Amino acid sequence: MEILLDTHALWWFLNGSDKMPNAVKETILTSENTIYVSIASIWEVAIKMSIGKLKFDGGIDRFVEAIEDEAFMLLDIIPKHIETVTKMDYIHRDLFDRMLVAQAIVEELPVITIDSNMVKYDITPIWKS
């Protein structure tokens, strides 16, 4: 199965957070699954690091290395993703999450997320609140 990680899920996973249930961690770690990380998530984390909201040992470079160490696939932003954002209802105010939703729709990827606003769109959540 191919799966997209929401930014918070990526952050919690890489930091070993107890907020993520073991079943979700196992889904991410299952070798049969291909896990995608959006460039938008890396961008969001970089911004939050730059303003002091998030800290990761080694900074953004180490954060990206940690993604690579897990063999997660990077999902670029393409024009079709941007076009899809322009057609989406304005349910979610977070611009990064709107891009993740658009990517999930275009690429037909389920999303590991607990964001109650994201799951109001036509996506398949794997984990939600």
Residue 95: the pLDDT is: 95
Total domains, the chain: 1
Residue 121: the pLDDT is: 96
Residue 77: the pLDDT is: 98
DSSP letters, 84-112, are HHHHS-S----HHHHHHHHHHHHHT--EE
Residue 32: the pLDDT is: 97
CATH number, residue 91 = 3.40.50.1010
Strand order in the sheet with 73-75: 73-75, 34-38, 2-5, 111-112, 125-127
Residue 128: the pLDDT is: 56
Q: Which residue range is the domain that position 25 belongs to?
A: 2-127
Q: Which residues of 46-80 are buried (b: 16+ CB within 10 A; e: fewer)?
A: eebeeeeebebeeebeebbebbeebebeebeeeee
Low-confidence ranges of the chain (pLDDT < 70): 128-129
**pLDDT, tens digit, 9 for 90 and up, residues 52-84:** 999 999 999 999 999 999 999 999 999 999 999
